[in-house]
Structure formats: structure tokens, C-alpha cells
Chain A
Amino acid sequence: MADRAELLFTDNEWTFERIATATERIGEIAERELALDTYPNQLEVITAEQMLDAYASTGLPMYYPHWSFGKQRAIETGQYRRGEMGLAYELVINSNPCISYLMEENTMVMQTLVIAHAAFGHNAFFKNNTFFQQWTDAQGILDYLEFAKTYIAHCEEQYGIDAVSDVIDAAHALNRNGVDRAHRPQKLSTRDEQRRRRERAAFIEQHLSEIWRTVPGAAEAAVAAPEGRFPKDPQENLIYFIEKNAPHLETWKREILRIVRKIAQYLYPQGQTKIMNEGFACFVHYHIMHSLHTAGFIGDGALLEFYASHTAVIFQPDFDSRRYSGINPYALGFAIFQDIKRICVNPTDEDREWFAFAGDPDWLKHIHFAMREFRDDSFVLQYLSPKVMRDLHLFALENDPQAEAFLVTAVHDNQGYQYLRSALARQIAETARAPDIEVVAVNRWGDRHLHLKKMDAFPLDQTEAKKTLDYVARLWGYDVHLDAGDVVMIARAKATGA
């Protein structure tokens, strides 16, 4: 084999030079064969302890300090020490440059895999997926996190750690109800802009709070027009609403709410694209590792080691297995992306019936389109093929609380494919969503209570809801009512001793 390239490594120890050359080779393949468009890469070698740190703060390279992250770390450290949890091989941050963590314990094969998976797969996904493009700002996130950390440190100094923690606790409770789902958030601004805007906001809050205006003339005018309901339309972003409209929340508390909200917003697309993101990254690393092997950059042993980790990552336990804990996003995502390629290059009659693009030899175009234009639920609805359903042996189960038994509503056969596909898409959309609770009204001329309403059909965990409402009341400063469908819960504000 005279035309084969020289192996990048023969023993399995990683060195910085090897990582650099491997990254270069991988980059060439990614560009030439997969036409990946990525942010510049920043690879950071870290220890297992540091990986646990990163875990505790949802992977962000920098976070304001809070006890809940300490708790998370204590839980994970415990599990890790007891051997119940392996550490992920990689962690990658949606930022520009795109930061990927390489653990020092990894072998060189693993580092190569991680670079292909994270630094090119995830990286390209972050940069090109429309959802990420519109909902997050890779450019500004590192600056913003820095700002957030400094600001909160400043608040702790001025108002005390406990006072700050109280606000963060309350904001975290509303974390999942603090994102804009329907309209695009503003870009994260740089620090200076941030400061200017903050000052402006503070000024406005103090001087021109439209709904709380107490100028006599205005009040009379409002009474004269009682149909002037506020807010005009229900508001889904609870944190935003409180931040902007709570009657007398101190400005620094509003700013903290804003910080928590901005970070939640930044993280939101990750929960909506888990299957796609992981699936695409697996697709990329699978392709690249094989290309490296074919070109002679890695040996047979390395390829075998890669297979071992790869199969472990995309393993889907059966529903009745002890190891089952839901559908593995890596497994489903990888299967669908591989299948898109297969449908292009090697279609069956069934595929032609199901997919208009079956047989189009330009598989790369369709992979890119799928990666860019969807999120998990629509992706499944669009691309889950009968073959993948058969391979995974999918079936649908229905629970009627009154019935004695579960009912199998569909299996992987001709009658079931369509049904299964939409059921799975619906399920994905639902699990990725927090309970839909919206602000429907504020009692402006009476006791100033905030009226929330549950807008979806799913029952709410009431003990949880009660505790969360207490937090809302603490922020709002007055009573909060929640219309949860069958019950109305009320949280009193005076419990805070305000």
C-alpha cells in the first residue's frame, strides 16, 4: 500500500503535537468530504475534576456561583466515585470560537473521536442550524457570561450572598418558563452596551412604569376604560414579565432575573435539538473516523477501539431492559442521519414511496438541509423512515388511567408507520416543553395580584407548583393566583415579610 499515508500515531498516548495534526487532518476531511462550515476551534485539555465542574454548570465555561451547582457537583461526584456514572468523553460549548473539552484521561483514539464529534460535528451544527442561529448568540455568550459573573459578584458584595441567592433561587424555579418560544430574542450585547441599556432600563422603571402609574388623571382615565386589560395578550415568558412589571422589585434584582433569563434562553435550543445535534455529531465522527482509516491515518486497532466506544454511545436498550431510560438521542439521531444517506445512495421501493429525495445521489445536500432546517420533533416527523422504525422495533403504548391495561396503539408495520412517526414527534415536542403557564392578567386597581393560567392539558404536579408559586409571589411582591385547570392555587406575598 504505497499510496497510504503515514499513521498519525501507533501507540495510544496523546500529545499536543498529535492532537494538532489530528485536528488538521480531521479539518481537511470535514471540509473536503462533508463541506462542514464551522466556527474556529478552541480545544481545551482538562482533568476529570474539571469535567465534573463543567457538568455542574451545564457545560458553560463560566457561571455565577450558586449553591445548586455545588449540589449538582456533589451528586455527580458521588455517582462518579461510586462508579455509577462515567464521564462524557467530551463537552462542547456553543460559542465563537467553539470551545471543546478534551479529558486528559482519554486515549489518543478517543481524543481523535472527540475532536471529530465535538469540534467539527457539534460545531457545524451550532453554526448552521437555523434554530441556533436565530435563538442564540455564539459571538456574545462568553462576554455575557463574564458580565453576568461580575455583576452577580458585585451584588453579593453589596447586598449579601443570601439576598442574592434568594433571587437566583426564585429565578431558577422559573427557568424553563423564562424563554421566548415564539419570537426571536435580542442578541446578547457587549458589556458596554449592556451597561447603557441597564441604566436606561433603570431610569424607565423608576420614572415611567406604565401599568403602575399613579398620576390621578391617568388612574381616572383607566377606570373610565376598564376593558384596558393588562397584559393585552397572555405572556409566556414569566421571568421577563416579572422583570419588566413587578411593582417594586429593586433594580439589581431585575438585572439578576434578566441574567438568568438570558442564559436560559441561550440554553433553550439545546433541549430542542438534542436528537439532531447528537445524531449529526455521531454521523460526522463516524464518517471522519472511517475516512481517516481509509486514508491510512489511523490503524486497524484504533478503528476497533473507535467501534467499541461508538457502539456503546449509540446503544439503545429495549423498553423492558433494566438499562432503559428513554429513547437514546444518540441512537435515534445517528440512525436517522445514516438513513438519510442510505435513502439517497441506496434506496428501496419503500423509500421511494416515502421520500421524494430517494435516489438523489447528492446525499450531502440532503444531510445539510436536514441539519439546518429542523428541530427534533419536526426532524422526526420529516425523516423517520419505516426502516429505522423497524430497526428500533418501535411501538406505541397508550395509558387510560381508568383502564385495567395499557393498549398497544401501533407497531412497526405498514399500518403503524405513519401513526408511530407522528406519535413520537408529538412526544418529543411535549417532553422538551415546560408546562405552559402564562400571565393572563394583573389586577391593577385592586390588590395587585398576578394571575397565571395553565394553558396546556397536562396535569400539574401540585406540590411543586405550590412551592414555585411562593417564589413567584416573592418576586412579584403581591399575591399570585394560578388557574391550573381543575384547581386555583394562591400564593400569598406577605409570607416574605415584605
Chain B
Amino acid sequence: MSVIIDRRNLGTRSSANQDRLQRRVRGRVKAAVEKLARRRSLGDMLDTEQPIAIPTKDLHEPSFRRDMRDAAWEQVLPGNKQFRRGDLISKPQGEEGGGDGGPGASEGLGDDEIAIVLSADEFLSVLFDGLELPNLRQTRTEDIQAEQWRRAGFVKEGSPSRMHIGRTMRTARARRMALRARKKHELEALLKQAETLEEEIRIRQGCGEDTSIERFRLAEIQNEIKGLERKIKAIPFIDESDLRFAHIDQQPRPVTSAVIFCVMDVSGSMGDLEKDLAKRFFLLLYLFIHRQYRAVEIVFIKHHGEASECTEQEFFGAKEGGGTLVSPALALVEDIMVQRFPPEHWNIYLAQASDGDNAQDDNRLVQERALELLPQLRNMFYLEVNQDQESALLRLYKGMSQEFPELMTARARHTEDIYPLFRALFSPRQGATHG
């Protein structure tokens, strides 16, 4: 007896082994991923699967084995051409133990590296391993909820405006069919009886016999038929009990979408390098936040003396001159937030990058606006790029962050700084998590 089974659609079963392999070399994988994150742009990294070379010596599996290199051995080999017994063959120089190796010579692996391929998702999870959004934890249960009207089946009572025609008609039809069915059967039976009686009367009359009893019975049956027909007709097309109303109910719904406001200074002092730093930071932030929520929106706001919303291209491409005012940008954030992203429905993040070269008297306004904004934000990030000294703006924010831990600040000067800085920002802090 033979059984043939198609197993092709079962897929591979290597993922558990793969997981454990990655676990085993996680230190190396992590180092490799971080190295990549520092050098390459994130967009590139996510496009392709990332092969990471792991030296097999990290994965060595020792066992008791022989070492025949300096031992005496005898070996039987195939393919003799000219040797006779007693011939001497000089040993190959430089190589150990002869060209073919002794029996049981090193059972080592041929290649000294294996490639571990990470999917974009695995790549990110290594990249963001151990990081968390500081404020997410406390707020997740209470605030990331919204009430929403949802359909909740059908009910028998309700306002006429919510009456569901389809459902109502369906119920009515079912009722009519149910009530009618038995009567129809009875009716059919009676009609049949009447027919046979008529037939009999005709035959008997033909033979000249008396048919009075039959006629009486026939009249009776016809009466019954009429009664039944009346009853069938009396079944109402629609009855009050048929009415169905669509029901709606208020249910809490977790808010699973987030919006990031990216605010960047595009005044003359922000060069390509500064923008690149900002861009890397924004991108990492986007990817990181995206892992927490189902959908993430981004709003780009550029500002110099005044602020405007723009596209991504304009955001990173634009180079405009003029002095710098930060407060109009924050005002614009608030406007857009109120209009399009009400905080009770959205998880709102604000990321700001600037060289901190803000006009002196604007800082007071900035403080006012920020104080208004902060309670509505999950987090606010401020990245200061390429300043030799801390600016007044950074100092201001730092001061505020004493009171508002969700305000986070950082300074970056080189491309390589961004990822470590990002890690530092999001590594769980003792005080923050346990306090």
C-alpha cells in the first residue's frame, strides 16, 4: 500500500530554528544592524533584505573528535595508476597531514561565514530592540480610547427613521409563509376531495343512482374551502411584530493612529548637513512610532520668519533665507491639530529640528505656546543640529523638561550621532518607568 501526499503548500518549517539562530548571534546581528543604521540611509535599508555575515566560529559546536594530523594512519584509496607495493610517495610540503587529510581529519566547515537574512521587519525590530516610547505606557489604557457609535444588530423597537426595510420585509415574509403553509396544505387536500366527490356524483348519476348524500358532503367541503380561503387572505401582509430597527450603540474604541508633526527650521543657517541630520532623525522617529500604531500620518511644517505646511520634497529640499522665529511654527501646529487631528482621537507627536538660532524675544512666546501644546502631546522632541554651544532655545526646552518629562531634547553634530542619540532618547529610564 502506498500513500501519496502533497506537502508543498505546507511551507517551510525553518522559522523556529531561524529564530533561535538569530537569538544565538543577537549580539552580532545587533552590532551589524547598528553599523548599517549609522552609515546608510534608512530608506535603502528597508528596501532590500539584509544579509548579515556571521562567522561560523561563533556558532561552533564542539565534540570529541580525533586529530590525525601528526598521527600514524593507514588509508585505502581508489584510483591507483602506477603504484606498486613498497613504493614511497613523498609527502606534500606545507600542507599538514597529506593532501587528502587523514581519516577523520578535521571535520570542520568549509566556509567560515554564514549569512543571516533579516526581513525589513526583523531588521527594524533589532534596530529598535529595547526602546520604548516613554509616555506610551501610562497613557495607553486611559487616553488612547475614543467613544464611537457602532452598529449593534437589530431590535424590535425604535424610531421610525431607523426602521430597516429589508429586515422587516424578510421577517414579514417568513411569518406569512409560516402561517399560510398549513392552511394551504389543508386547502389542497379539500380541493382534491371535492374533485373525487364530483367525479363520483357524475358516475352515479350516469347509473341513475341516488347522490343526495354526496351532494350534501360536497356542499360541506366547498364551505370549508371558502372558509380556508378567507383565512389565508386574512393573513396580514405586514404585522407590527415584523418591524425591525437598526440598532446603534456607543462603544469605546482604541485610537490606533498617530500623527507626527515634523517642524524644521529652513532659515539660511540650516545647510544640507543639518537637514540631513534632521531627516535621519525624523525618519527613525517615523519608523519607530509606526511600530506602535496601525496608521501614522506625518505633517511637515517648515519655518523661518513664518511657518507653512508643505510636502515632503519641499520640506527637505527647501532652502529659504531670513531670520528665525519658532513660535509661529508652534502656533501652526496647534491650528492644524485643532482642525484635523483632535487630540482625543489621535496620538500626537511633535518633532522639531533647528539650529536653535531663534530670535531672543521669541523664546518667551515659544514657552507660552509649548506650555499650551504639551498637555495634548504624547511626546515632543527637540533636536538641535550642529551648534557649537547650546542655544538659548535648547536651554529653555531643557528647563521645561524638568516639569514635562515628555519633552525631550538632544544635540547632534554628525551623521553617526543620530542613531546612538535616538537610542539614548528612547531607552527606558529607571525613574520614568518605575515612577
Give the interface of A toward B (CB within 8 A): 16, 19-20, 23-24, 27, 40-47, 49-50, 52-53, 56-57, 65-71, 73-75, 78-79, 97, 104, 119, 161-162, 165, 169, 172-177, 316-321, 324, 327, 392-401, 404-413, 415-416, 420, 423-424, 427, 430-431, 434-435, 437, 458-462, 464-465, 467-468, 471
With most chain A CB atoms within 10 A of its CB, the pick from B5, B22, B89 is B5
Tell me whether B5 and A42 are in contact (CB under 8 A): yes
**B111 near A: Cβ within 8 Å?**
yes
Contact indicator B78/A318 (Cβ below 8 Å): yes
> Which one of B8, B20, B72, B109 lies within 8 Å of A66 (CB-CB)?
B20
Binds A, one of B99-107, B232-240, B247-255: B99-107
From A23, A46, A52, A394, contact of B2 by CB (8 A): A23
Cα-based distance from A177 to B114 in the complex (angstroms): 28
**A418–B375 alpha-carbon span in the complex (Å):** 94
Q: Is the interface of B mostly helix, strand, loop or mixed?
A: loop
A68/B59 contact (C-beta < 8 A), A74-B116, A394-B77, A435-B65 known: yes
Chain B positions 73-117 with a Cβ under 8 Å from a chain A Cβ: 73-81, 83-91, 97-98, 100, 102-104, 106, 109, 111, 114-116
Q: Which residues of B contact A (CB under 8 A)?
A: 1-8, 10-14, 16-24, 56, 59-68, 70-81, 83-91, 97-98, 100, 102-104, 106, 109, 111, 114-116
**Chain B residues whose CB sits within 8 angstroms of the CB of A73 once the complex forms:** 14, 17-18
* Contacting residue for A427 out of B1, B66, B74, B91, CB 8 A: B74
A321 to B99, CA, bound (A): 11
Across chains A and B, the number of contacting residue pairs, with CB separation under 8 Å, is 257
- Nearest-neighbour CB distance to chain A for B118, whole angstroms, equals 12
A401, B1: Cβ atoms under 8 Å? no
Known A416-B85, A427-B103; judge A50-B7 contact (CB<8 A): yes
User: Of A53, A321, A420, A465, which contacts B76 at CB under 8 A?
Assistant: A420
Q: Are B79 and A393 in contact (CB-based, < 8 A)?
A: yes
- Note all chain B residues with C-beta closer than 8 A to A404: 88, 90-91
With contacts A40-B2, A394-B80 taken as known, whether A411 is within 8 angstroms of B85 at the C-beta atoms is yes
A-B CB proximity, top 5 nearest: A318-B79, A70-B21, A65-B16, A70-B17, A467-B62
Q: A53-B12, A462-B67 are in contact. Are A392 and B17 (CB under 8 A)?
A: no
Chain A residue with Cβ nearest B25: A67
Does the CB pair A471–B3 fall under 8 Å?
no
- Residues in B with CB closer than 8 Å to A176 are 63-64
Partner of B78, one of A319, A410, A430: A319
Q: How far is the CA of A57 from the CA of B17 in the complex (A)?
A: 10
CB distance from A99 to the nearest CB of B (A): 9
Residue A320 contacts which of B71, B76, B79 (CB distance < 8 angstroms)?
Answer: B79
Using A40-B2, A324-B100, A467-B62 as known contacts, say yes or no to A395 and B76 having CB atoms under 8 A apart.
yes
Q: Is there contact, CB below 8 Å, between B13 and A53?
A: yes
Chain A residues with CB below 8 A from B16, complex form: 65
| Docked pose: A130 CA to B2 CA in angstroms | 24
Q: Name the residue of chain A whose CB is nearest to the CB of B9.
A: A47
> How far apart sit A376 and B80, CA to CA, in the bound complex (Å)?
23
Instruction: Check A97/B74 contact, CB under 8 A, given A161-B23, A406-B88, A412-B80.
Output: no
Cβ–Cβ < 8 Å partners of A420 in chain B: 76
Can you list 12 A-B pairs with a CB-CB distance of less than 8 A? Answer: A45-B5, A68-B61, A69-B14, A78-B111, A319-B77, A395-B76, A399-B71, A408-B85, A431-B103, A461-B67, A464-B65, A471-B62
